[in-house]
Amino acid sequence: MKVLVTGFTGKVGSQVAKFLRSKDIPMVCGVRNVEKARDSLGDEYEYVELDFAEPSTFEGALEQVDRIFLMYTPGADLQFDIFLEMAKDKDIKHISYLSLKDVQFMPFIHHYKMEKLIKSSNIPYTFVRAGYFMQNLNDFLCKEIKERQRIFVPAGKGKTSFVETRDLAEISVLSLINTEIHKNKTYVITGNEALDFYDVAKIMTDVLNKKIEYTNPSVKEFKSVKKKLGEDEEFVNVVVGVHMPTKLGLAKGIKHDYEKVTGKKPTNIRKYVGDFKGKLDLENITT
């Protein structure tokens, strides 16, 4: 058994690699630039060149692996159909694909199309459909939290089902190890509570002992502020799109698949904020 881990430099892929390593399962991490990855991340993991826009990298990445943790990576001219055809030819035994909660209702997004591609390949799969990442708090939301002590995102008053990426990684790894149990299954992974960003701000205030507010900007206000700050317009539009289901009240659904598979409760956001307090680096924010 050997696993190809894609999306290794992202939130979930890196955690998948950590879980695999903790279980002494052989793996190789697909990256666009092996030298750059080795220089920045060290020799802790084995790397192989993999660029989904360059089919010439596919054969080498699929050599001597029999299972894949697959993520949709940003980019143009991505050739996932060719990659999956080659994976089938290489007799890949299982794909664990990181998808999106409620994707079945969103045929216009890439995850919907990817699930169809994987199914049509006839490679056994597990779809891990994710709720809203808790890690966003110490990613693209973190700058506003640190500099202005506010959660600034156009999500309205809607609730969302936050999920910890370590929980997503755990389910993905279990599906890769126990392929027969998880063959052609779909799991929707969320936390066990739906919260709005007012709730999140209160939890952060309590845990961090710093006043954090959710200002609930309109989409127009959010875009205007980000434009003045010189942020990339395309990325700003992505952020708006990510939060639109929450704003419309469509993201609050809770599923219990994590507990059914692992026998454990999913991580709650209070624990997450406590665990990542150092990485959030909020001890030094001013009030």
- Residue-wise pLDDT for 86-133, tens only, equals 999 999 999 999 999 999 988 888 999 999 999 999 999 999 999 999
- Residue-wise pLDDT for 239-258, tens only, equals 998 899 899 998 999 999 99
Residue 168 exposure: Cα atoms within 13 Å on the Cβ side: 31
* pLDDT score, position 191: 94
Q: How far is CA 237 from CA 49, 101, 142, 241, 242, in A?
A: 30, 20, 18, 6, 9
Q: Which residues pair with 4 in a beta bridge?
A: 28, 68
Asked if pLDDT for residue 284 goes beyond 80, the answer is: no
Angle at Cα 72 formed by Cα 64 and Cα 38, nearest 5°? 55
d(CA 260, CA 163): 15
Q: Which amino acid is at 285?
A: I
Asked if pLDDT for residue 27 goes beyond 50, the answer is: yes
Domains of the chain with bracketed CATH:
3-123 (3.40.50.720), 136-159+193-251+267-280 (3.90.25.10)
Q: Which residues pair with 68 in a beta bridge?
A: 4, 95
- Residue-wise pLDDT for 194-238, tens only, equals 999 999 999 999 999 999 999 999 999 999 999 999 999 988 998
Cβ atoms within 10 Å, residue 128: 28
Name the pLDDT band for 286 (thresholds 50, 70, 90): very low
- Whose structure tokens read 């910890």? 164
Contact 258, 189 (CB under 8 A): yes
Coil vs helix vs strand at 23: coil
- Residue-wise pLDDT for 37-93, tens only, equals 999 888 889 999 999 999 999 999 999 999 999 999 888 899 999 999 999 999 999
Q: Which residues pair with 128 in a beta bridge?
A: 98, 187
